[in-house]
Structure 1
Amino acid sequence: MTDRTTTTAPGEQLDRAPALDRRLVPPMVLGSVLNPINSTIIAVALVPIGAALGASPAQTAWLVSALYLATALGQPVVGRLIDLFGPRRLFLASTSLVGVAGIVGTLAPNLGTLIAARVVLGFGTCAGYPAAMALLRAESRRTGQDSPAGVLTLLAVANQTVAVIGPLLGGLLTSAGGWRSTFALNIPLSVLAVTLGALRLPRQDPGAAPETGPGTGPKAAGGAGPLRRIDLPGMALFAVLLLSLLLFLMHPHADRWYLPLLTLAAAVAFTVRERRAEQPFIDVKVLGGNTPLLLTYARALAAYVVSYAFLYGFAQWTEEGFGLSPLQAGLVQAPTFLVGIGVSLLAGRRGGIRATLLVGGLGQVAACLLMLALGAHSPLWALAALAVVFGVPQGANGLALQNSVFQQSDPARTGSSAGLLRTFAYLGSMVASAATAAAYGPHAGTAGMHQLAWIMLGAAVLFLLLTAFDRTLPALRAPAAARS
């Protein structure tokens, strides 16, 4: 990131603080929304895909799980690489994969190939959000601002915006060109992201904060030095840990008893390795002593169990249990994300982090209770009312969790910390996906929707308790929008 020089007229203040480099905003925003737009656009296409390929809801749930399985693993890994090498190379490589996934998905002859395309898509969307957070951290240091609050809010609002567009666009594309068009959309998005990244992201490493230890001195600036800072054994153990955990969460059956044991063994080995490593992939000593950040990750997991269960599970019920078309199902969910945009904007300007989290927690509880009151013969306006209520936590939680991580994380590990936030969100999505499949079985009926709502209510209450009894939150101030 290049420093800006300011030409001043006689009498003007010479030490005026540099401004945020606004040229970085478009690639940051586009990269960060590639994952959520692919999350939401397929929500209303699952039923048509199942009908076309002869797959049940439990089978099409793999299209959701595959994306988050790949992204949950890839986000912290790519985030750490961004911390070490800067965002440009990782951003360009990963967003190129988005286009590859779009081509494979568009031409896929069967469900297995579609799932493979979603895996590639998951890895392809890994770099956008950690790169954006790393660039913001670098801009914060360069400009002297604690946090560019305006851009942090913009990232949250952009995610809400694409969530609005996703179900509607998915319904329109499915109605006009079939479900394959929801995959084809990634081809132009990839071209645009790669072009913006190549033109606007800095070629030098602007964000990797200095670290100590072997391989980080002057000679480590090039050659093999940076490569020695990649903790490949730690990353491999983390992959085993996460994959075994997620595979069990997706299908928690007794005949998979070995997966929790493998998860536990990998967790122990990973912890031992990272405590001894000179340049650990995840510094468990620092992370273990950062209770506020760990509580933020726990809140993220609970919040996204609720959010994704509503996004996918409720959307499936509106089509199969209530009888709406994919386009109508997308329209029903639109108020959730429209309200979420408004809540994000309001919270970004006025809301403290603790107050925003409490509002989000109460909104989740209220929405789950309303969901339990719905049935196949409920009026359409009741579904829309539920979507409005769900918009409150949708807008409040994402912004507050993002701001929490930005302030609580080690500046030298902003990328990997942001990646871990998404990983815990994807763990929540895995729990939501498994809960949805277990609740519905072969048909998304009203009884299954109510069973899913009870699971969501449990996660919502947990989120609220974790927020209400967290004594560190009152001292965590929200970024001042005026300083952005």
Structure 2
Amino acid sequence: MTTVRNGLTRRELLLITAVALGTLLNPLNTTMISVALARLQEDFRLTFGEVSWLISTYYLASAIGQPIMGKWSDMFGRKRVFMLGLTLVTVASCLAPLSPSFGWLIGFRIIQAFGSSALFPSGMGIIRSQITSGQAKALGAMSIFSSTSAAFGPSLGGMLLHYGDWPLIFLCNFPFIVGSFLIAWKVFPRDTQQSGRLSDMDWPGVGLFSATIFVWLLFFLSVAEGANLWMLALGAGLSIWFYRYERGRRAPFIDVAFLRNNVNVTLIYVQFILTNICFYSIMFGIPSYLQQVQKLDPQQTGLVMLSIAGFSVLVTPLVSRWIDRSGSKPSLIVGTLTAVVGSLMLLLIRDGTPAAVIFLVLCVLGIANGFNNLGMQTILYDFVKKEETGIASGLFMTSRFIGTILSSSLLAALFGKAISTPQLHGMAWACAALSVLMVILTLRLPARRPVVASK
């Protein structure tokens, strides 16, 4: 097998490419739809609150789907689950532009969310089992596609709306789907015979987990209009019930005993939630601010937002090489400190601030995003056995969507009545405070990679 640059074989590069093309579908579709909300609101004659369910249900389905698909990839085979995910995304992307009503569109988006949720946990399991050296480089490529691609969503969505209409946001998935499917079919290793059955799944645990996530979503969406204390109490009660139920299961859906006993993994998930609260607050808050306060048109807004995506991509290869040499913790320290600085730099933005200055401020946040995304992914797998990759990756991405839901709550509280520079500065202070917590969580992690034994 021929070795190419960076010590990876041609087959390994193709394998990474297949996983990466599939993996970007979930984060890209998360943010790409945001610029189409106004058109959808007009087409289906909806209020903003009604059309926002298109985003909220996608978050909800992804938060639930990631651990389910992660579990399935461990039970039934990673290649099978990856191909199933691509098939579901294909069906949803074909049918969504033909939706006769908004309810149908939400249904197809939920199918799309579940399908795309299968791709990251199954793909990461394949990469960890097939690539034994230079894993940080492989995970660096995955970081660009699984997290950084979300930053390209508003820019790509704006371009598609400029030259067409909202159906293009679904149809543009097909080049990625076809490329991923063809390469995966050829290079993915054949699944071994699996003994898992659907009846082995902890379906009561899945139902309880889904209900818990849904109630918390309703609570966070209610914060802007005054927190619903009944929802808060119900969410807390369901969380306690879910924890106690799963703790007593022999084969639980979520291994809460593992999370309780492995504090480092649990705190990594907490830190990733905080990372995504900051990232998605900026990704969804800044475009609205630029258009409504700075009076930039959608195309200009998309170009300014490219600063975050562009610099995330630029620093990721450098970070991956650093992690291979020194481990994940140093890069995370730099990333979290840069997030504090970038958040505080948002305070420099005033009414009438030139777009070039805003671009430079967002560049700092893009650098922080590149460091944090790859650092968080690589440090997670320092504490997770290879055979646990599927469920661990699913929970990792569930943490991302919990952070996304919480960012919606933060933005609703800040921008619910009006979008202005003082509200932007409030978001900056909130993101800076969360970034300081991220620094503290990073500093408490072990300095060296632990050796995780196999079962």
TM-score under structure 2 length normalisation: 0.88
Q: Which of 153-162 and 326-335 deviates more?
A: 153-162
**8 Å contact from structure 2 (residues 77, 192) kept in 1:** yes
One of 298, 321, 326 as aligned partner of 1:326: 298
Residue equivalent to 1:90: 81
The answer to whether 1:270 aligns with 2:266 is no
Residue equivalent to 1:474: 447
One of 194, 207, 212 as aligned partner of 1:236: 207
Once the two structures are superposed, residues 126-161 of structure 1 have per-residue CA deviations (whole angstroms, 9 ceiling, x without a partner) of 011101211123225xx5x5x622211111133466
SS state at 2:404 partner: helix
The answer to whether 1:180 aligns with 2:171 is no
Q: Which has the higher helix share?
A: 2
Cα gap change, 1:205/1:126 in structure 2, threshold over 3 Å: closer, same or farther? farther
Residue equivalent to 1:250: 221
**How far 1:228 sits from its partner (Å)?**
4.7
Residue equivalent to 1:72: 63
Cα gap change, 1:445/1:121 in structure 2, threshold over 3 Å: closer, same or farther? farther
Q: Which of 73-82 and 271-280 deviates more?
A: 271-280
**8 Å contact from structure 1 (residues 336, 387) kept in 2:** yes
One of 306, 317, 320 as aligned partner of 1:345: 317
Cα gap change, 1:52/1:350 in structure 2, threshold over 3 Å: closer, same or farther? same
Separation in structure 1 between the aligned mates of residue 357 and residue 103 of structure 2, nearest angstrom? 37
Q: Which of 193-202 and 265-274 deviates more?
A: 193-202
Residue equivalent to 1:148: 135
Residue equivalent to 1:30: 21
Residue equivalent to 2:411: 436
Residue equivalent to 2:382: 407
Q: Which of 82-91 and 296-305 deviates more?
A: 82-91
**How far 1:53 sits from its partner (Å)?**
4.8
Separation in structure 2 between the aligned mates of residue 182 and residue 285 of structure 1, nearest angstrom? 41
**8 Å contact from structure 1 (residues 61, 433) kept in 2:** no
Once the two structures are superposed, residues 391-445 of structure 1 have per-residue CA deviations (whole angstroms, 9 ceiling, x without a partner) of 1111011101100111112332211111111111111110111221232225533
**How far 1:376 sits from its partner (Å)?**
2.8
Separation in structure 1 between the aligned mates of residue 20 and residue 179 of structure 2, nearest angstrom? 12
Q: Which of 350-359 and 112-121 deviates more?
A: 112-121
Q: Which of 347-356 and 439-448 deviates more?
A: 439-448
Q: Which of 130-139 and 298-307 deviates more?
A: 130-139
Separation in structure 1 between the aligned mates of residue 159 and residue 262 of structure 2, nearest angstrom? 45
Separation in structure 2 between the aligned mates of residue 419 and residue 160 of structure 1, nearest angstrom? 14
Greater C-alpha radius of gyration = 1
Residue equivalent to 2:5: none
One of 300, 306, 309 as aligned partner of 2:281: 309
Cα gap change, 1:228/1:188 in structure 2, threshold over 3 Å: closer, same or farther? same
Counterpart amino acid of residue 91 in structure 2: V
Gaps of 5+ in 2: 3-7
Aligned residues: 442
The answer to whether 1:130 aligns with 2:121 is yes
Residue equivalent to 2:439: 464
One of 169, 190, 205 as aligned partner of 2:192: 205
Counterpart amino acid of residue 429 in structure 2: W
Counterpart amino acid of residue 465 in structure 1: I
**8 Å contact from structure 1 (residues 43, 315) kept in 2:** no
Separation in structure 2 between the aligned mates of residue 381 and residue 175 of structure 1, nearest angstrom? 22
Separation in structure 1 between the aligned mates of residue 267 and residue 336 of structure 2, nearest angstrom? 14
Residue equivalent to 1:167: 154
Separation in structure 2 between the aligned mates of residue 19 and residue 332 of structure 1, nearest angstrom? 36
SS state at 1:278 partner: coil
Separation in structure 1 between the aligned mates of residue 277 and residue 82 of structure 2, nearest angstrom? 28
**How far 1:191 sits from its partner (Å)?**
4.1
Separation in structure 2 between the aligned mates of residue 461 and residue 31 of structure 1, nearest angstrom? 33
Counterpart amino acid of residue 314 in structure 1: I
Cα gap change, 1:450/1:120 in structure 2, threshold over 3 Å: closer, same or farther? farther
Cα gap change, 1:60/1:227 in structure 2, threshold over 3 Å: closer, same or farther? closer
**8 Å contact from structure 1 (residues 43, 312) kept in 2:** yes
Counterpart amino acid of residue 423 in structure 1: T
Cα gap change, 1:415/1:47 in structure 2, threshold over 3 Å: closer, same or farther? same
Separation in structure 2 between the aligned mates of residue 106 and residue 266 of structure 1, nearest angstrom? 37
One of 360, 379, 399 as aligned partner of 1:424: 399
Separation in structure 1 between the aligned mates of residue 424 and residue 103 of structure 2, nearest angstrom? 27
**How far 1:165 sits from its partner (Å)?**
4.2
**How far 1:314 sits from its partner (Å)?**
0.7
Identity of aligned residues (%): 30
Cα gap change, 1:309/1:45 in structure 2, threshold over 3 Å: closer, same or farther? same
**8 Å contact from structure 2 (residues 328, 379) kept in 1:** yes
Cα gap change, 1:234/1:43 in structure 2, threshold over 3 Å: closer, same or farther? same
One of 258, 276, 292 as aligned partner of 2:264: 292
**8 Å contact from structure 2 (residues 18, 183) kept in 1:** yes
Separation in structure 1 between the aligned mates of residue 353 and residue 103 of structure 2, nearest angstrom? 37
Residue equivalent to 2:358: 383
Q: How does 1:110-125 map to 2 (within 5 A)?
A: 111-125=102-116
